[in-house]
Structure 1
Amino acid sequence: MNQKQGVILYGPPASGKDTVTAALSDLDPRYAQFARLKVGAGKATGYRMGTPEQLHELEAACDVVYANSRYGNTYAIDRPGVDAAFATGVPVVHLGQVDGVRALVDGYPADWSAVLLWCSREATEQRSVGRGDSDTAARLAAWDATREDLDAHPSMAWDLTIDTTEASPQDAARLIDQLLTQRAGAASA
């Protein structure tokens, strides 16, 4: 069986999810960031901007795999969006909640590789300030929430853990690609 493969990158803000995804795409263009549906305001890059009505329609059709609210917005992983992402390659889904990882793994059948990207709170602050974020304080609060989330779910099993203060984005991408290659080989054996 040739099961669809996807990548979940979990980690606090500024842990390198965007940067590692770009390195994955450079390594193999089949890897592409999954654009979650975003209802709200602010940064649109990397998202499919939607309306509250669209979100309600997806919810009514039971097509929301996971949704969360942060920074005053709602972010959703929707079944039609994931279907479209798999149709074009290997989706890379960014998440910051263990419940979201579990919801996706349990709610959308595929061979998901869950990767924990980690960096210190200080690194998050430095990276956030360095890239000009206007909401660094909110990102630090999200870092704290991510740490609490991990502590609250000690049984969460990660397929791979990468400290992005030690591994370059290219090294992280190679490790993730190797993981998927190994899993595909094991599944076909």
Structure 2
Amino acid sequence: MPSGVILYGPPGSGKDAISNELTRLRSEFALFERLKAGPGRTTGYRITTVDHIEALSRAGGLLYRNARYDAEYAIDRHGVAALVDAGRIPVLHMGQVVGASAVAAFPLHWIRVLLWCPLEVTESRSIRRGDKDVDARVKVWHETREDLLAQETEPWTLTLRTDQMSPAESANTIIDALASAASAKSQNIRELVG
């Protein structure tokens, strides 16, 4: 069965850096570019309109849809399927547990990776990369923590502390989990998020 990778974590937890490492290490990994309608970053997204996202939703073409940072985001079935059909391993970035679960319904062997870092790491990484919305990202860190605690029985294949591992170490751990067809299981979320 083809595989996919879900990277879930708060802002600044290393989703971009780990995705870059995965694609550097193995050419079959491909960052899934979510649909986005609204302001902010454009890199790593397929820019569209809210009307287009709504039309896809009505037609059953979305795996998941959410709003954050004054923008609408969506993961479309066709986009994931196109990567798989091209022999690629889609790497999806998620910020909500319910989204990770919704995407996992797509028939792939998903490596579900929970990335975590302390609040001060999110804040310092956000400042270092020049984010203009650091306060919003700090707020989302807190929301991510609450999201995890509210759904602490959600299964994860891996839990990686990105303040204790380099992006390369994290990427290699994911590749090893993929090679061994590791399965997801409940983790000690309360201990992880403090």
Q: Same fold (TM over 0.5)?
A: yes
- Return the match for 1:62 from 51, 60, 68: 60
| Separation of aligned partners in 2, 1:22 and 1:16 | 10
Can you give the 5+ residue segments of structure 1 that lack an aligned partner in the other structure? 185-189
> What is the 5 A alignment of 1:1-189?
3-88=1-86, 89-106=88-105, 108-183=106-181
Deviations 1:137-161 (A, max 9, x none): 0000000000000000110111001
CA distance in 2, matches of 1:141, 1:91: 28
What TM-score, normalized by structure 1, do the two folds share?
0.93
Q: Give 5+ residue unaligned stretches, structure 2.
A: 183-194
How far 1:56 moved relative to its partner?
A: 2.0
Work out the CA distance in 1 between the residues paired with 2:155 and 2:78. Answer: 27
- Can you list the C-alpha shifts for 1:77-125, whole angstroms capped at 9, x where unaligned? 011111112123000000010000111112x111111001110000000
Listed one character per residue, the Cα deviations across residues 22-55 of structure 1 (whole Å, up to 9, x for unaligned) are 0001110111110000011221100000112211
Distance 2:85 2:135 in 1: 38
Indicate the residue corresponding to 1:187 in structure 2: none
For 1:152 and 1:16, locate their aligned partners in 2 and report how far apart those are by CA, in whole Å: 23
Q: Deviations over 1:2-37 (max 9, x none)?
A: x11000000000100000000001110111110000
1 CA distance for matches of 2:153 and 2:170? 23
Asked whether the equivalents of residues 50 and 72 of structure 2 are also in contact (C-alpha less than 8 Å), the reply is no
Q: Which has the higher helix share?
A: 1
Instruction: Calculate the aligned-residue CA RMSD, in Å.
Output: 1.0
